[in-house]
Copies of this chain bind each other. A is one copy, B any other.
Amino acid sequence: MSGTHTDVPSMVATPLVLPVVADEYEQCPVTDVLRRVGDKWTVLVVVVLGQRPYRFNELHRGIPGISQRMLTRTLRGLEEDGLASRAVFPTVPPSVEYALTDLGRSLLGPLSAVADWAVEHQEQIARSRARVGQERFTAGGVQEPSRIAAPGQ
């Protein structure tokens, strides 16, 4: 990470002294977006809207499995953050068009960095999960009786 947001100590010795109060993390912009982006549907909606503007039910059909309620909530969230726009056309029946804003489109790049990483390493991760699952079933021993003799305090 860049280090601009929540300054983790540059390289201080134990004990580490973070310049933060107990819950400053709650307001950390990085934690903030990652939690939004980490919810169940946001990324998917952003990616789909990244293709072109969509109307509500069109999105609903386009993202199988999402409930009307969650689609609404997700879109409201994106709108609130200025990532998507909502344009209402007073026709009958009404038509509402959602589209990414410039800000929303600017997120597509960074997002794909993580996405690419995920795709690239998915097998390795899957293998790790399987292996750790096995180890839980078998072993009970200590891995490395080496290196450190006694911990500092």
Contacts and interface: CB of A to CB of B under 8 A. Distances in A.
Interface of A: 1-2, 4-6, 8-9, 11, 14-16, 18, 20-23, 25-26, 29-40, 43-44, 47-48, 50-52, 55, 58, 61-65, 79-82, 86-91, 93, 95, 97, 103, 106-119, 121-122, 124-125, 127-129, 132-133, 142-151
Count this chain's copies in the assembly: 2
Nearest to A41: B25
Contacts of A145: 89-90
Contacts of A127: 82
Given A38-B38, A143-B87, A107 B112 contact: no
Nearest to A43: B34
Contacts of A116: 1-2, 4, 110
A64 to B, nearest CB: 5
